[in-house]
Amino acid sequence: MKNIQINFSIIVPVYNVEKYVKKSLDSIYKAADNDCEIIIVNDGSKDKSLRIVEDYIKKIDNKILKKQTKLINVEENKGLANTKNIGIENSRGRFISFVDSDDTIDENFYNDARKYLDDYDIIIYDMYADYEGHPEYNHIIHVKREDIKGSDSAKFIHGAMQGSSSNKIIKRELYKYKFPFGKEYEDVAVTPFVLIDSKKIKYIQNPYYKYLQRKTSIVGKNKWDEAYYKICENINNAFLNIEEKNFNKYIDIINEFYFYRIIDSFDFSLKNNKKNIKKIVKEFIDKNNYVINKIYDYLESGKKLPVKLTENQKRFEKKLFKYLYLGDYKGCIKLLKMRRWLNYFRGILGSIKHLIKSIFGGPYYA
């Protein structure tokens, strides 16, 4: 036993999952081998989850894995971030793997990763989204759809599941950041930074992680614009713990979550939650103050916006971030409304041009 090297610390947060936890554990122990330790953190479950886990551990056949299974019981529910931090603190493996207790993994999840442990910092798999009660929506979530060459870790920031820690096996020493206590979307305050810090990433195009989309899950309960604002708040708070000189190192995170998404998110809120748009923008300014100031300084120093944005989007965002920097929520809202009207009239103009061409002829109707 003393000579066994622990390659994988598998951390399983548990909270009120009596319906799912046995199936999840079945998949984990089927995938695990003697170089794995399993750390199950019960976060004050009020249902039968703890009892199910205790009974499950008693029945484990593999004596080595049984001895390398640790159950940590937190009396009071403190949230997913806290369970993950506890799991890392109690781990001793070379790599960390998180498996949510309502999800499952393929039996080859760790076996396929073993050959890359000495040469890579992170192994990433695709995910399979499993919609509870709606199998017609099930699909594979690809991290990237094109081949990734070299070790440019920033390329993974723009993938479909860049914030998730579940489809990634990550070198333990890269977890220099704490998951934010009591926050939803806690992964996004850690995983993108870890990706940037890594030197070499292996991407395996297999959907080995089955991600259950429950109706009552955090993801299921939040509208996508509401989720966006919570994610940005987490990222802003993460930057507070990073030295200012390293801001440019993580600019890809700013690009992905602020520059690429802010227009659509604000526009969605303006359209679907117009009564609360004043509160939404004011809270965004208050909860993202540090990043907003850094972005403003970044742009004022002559740095360019990402090339993926159109010229119109670049002009709009320069104005928007100036208003946000000044705390002028009224100016922000006015700018957003103006953009909606301009897009509306552009749409009408485009329809008129299309109609004229269809009547009088043109390059598309010759």
pLDDT at 41: 98
Contacts of 181 (CB under 8 A, 6+ apart): 78, 79, 81, 82, 85
- E strands, the chain, where? 8-14, 36-43, 69-74, 95-98, 104-105, 122-131, 139-141, 168-171, 201-213
The per-residue pLDDT for range 207-266, each reduced to its tens digit, is 999 999 887 654 455 588 999 999 999 999 999 988 888 888 999 999 999 999 999 999
Amino acid found at 25? L
Q: What percent of the chain has pLDDT over 90?
A: 73
Q: Give the other-Cβ count within 10 Å of 199's Cβ.
A: 11
Q: Cα(143)–Cα(7) distance, rounded to whole angstroms?
A: 24
Q: Where are the domains of the chain?
A: 8-220, 224-350
What is the average per-residue pLDDT within 292-313?
92
Secondary structure element (H or E) that encloses residue 297, with its range? helix 289-300
> 332: helix, coil or strand?
helix
The per-residue pLDDT for range 85-135, each reduced to its tens digit, is 999 999 999 999 999 999 999 999 999 999 999 999 999 999 999 988 898
pLDDT at 364: 45
Does 8-220 carry CATH code 3.90.550.10?
yes
The model's pTM is 0.87
The per-residue pLDDT for range 45-93, each reduced to its tens digit, is 999 999 999 999 999 999 999 999 999 999 999 999 999 999 999 999 9
- Longest CA span, the chain: 85
